[in-house]
Amino acid sequence: MKSTIFKRSIYVTLFILSVTSCELFTNQAIKPGISIFKTRGDYFDLVTIGMKGEEVFRTSAYLLEVGKFIITNSDTVYRNRIRLINGYILASEADERYDVFLNLTFKQHMSLEKNYPGGIPHDTLKKYIIDKDPYTEYYRDMSDPRKFSFNRIEDIDTTVINRIIKEGKIEEFFRRIK
């Protein structure tokens, strides 16, 4: 009896591991590459949320994601955006389809989060919207394998990307989406 229960628990464990590892592999395979974009204003230090129509479907709990920031007494810098030449921004978490910029810096957003332990209400976030269509140009590395692979966006050699921009060759390395 104990042997049968033990065997079944091993089979169940192996099944769960195989399903979750396949899911992890699949999600890695379809993960979007880095993006290069320009926005209508200087939104570099501002928070985005995701919206489909008038519905908010993606927000962040930055207090739980402090690894994405360099936090000092005077500043909070988001690690997943880097300024490039000619007004371009390099990002690893941008989404041209749904991003909406808020008139909140990351530091202000974190401060506001402290008042809402369950997450900032969507109605409150909507009051801070400043641009629902922020991107004037948008490019993504959709190559397979990625031309610019990285573990952290900080590992990308931005001098190479700046040279690509300077030489007017963005569309040779990135797919233009907008």
At 138-173, the pLDDT tens digits run 999 877 666 776 767 777 889 999 999 999 999 998
> 104 with 46: CB under 8 angstroms?
yes
Band of residue 176 on the pLDDT scale cut at 50, 70, 90: very high
Can you name the residues that pair with 105 across neighbouring β-strands? 46
The pLDDT value recorded for residue 104 is 95
SS3 for 61?
coil
SS3 content of the chain, % helix, strand, coil (to 5): 40, 25, 35
Mean pLDDT of 23-34: 48
Sign of the CA dihedral with 110 first, then 113, 118, and 124 last: negative
And the tokens for 167? 């030489």
Band of residue 96 on the pLDDT scale cut at 50, 70, 90: very high
Q: With a cut of 90, say whether residue 37 has pLDDT above it.
A: yes
Mean pLDDT of 54-75: 86
SS3 for 144?
coil
Mean pLDDT of 129-142: 94
Q: With a cut of 50, say whether residue 66 has pLDDT above it.
A: yes
The pLDDT value recorded for residue 151 is 67
In terms of pLDDT, which residue wins out, 149 or 105? 105
Residue ranges of the domains in the chain? 31-176
SS3 for 63?
helix
> 125 with 102: CB under 8 angstroms?
yes
The pLDDT value recorded for residue 55 is 94
> 56 with 122: CB under 8 angstroms?
yes
Mean pLDDT of 100-122: 92
Mean pLDDT of the chain: 82
Band of residue 69 on the pLDDT scale cut at 50, 70, 90: confident
> 96 with 135: CB under 8 angstroms?
yes
> 70 with 79: CB under 8 angstroms?
yes
> 151 with 34: CB under 8 angstroms?
no
In terms of pLDDT, which residue wins out, 145 or 124? 124
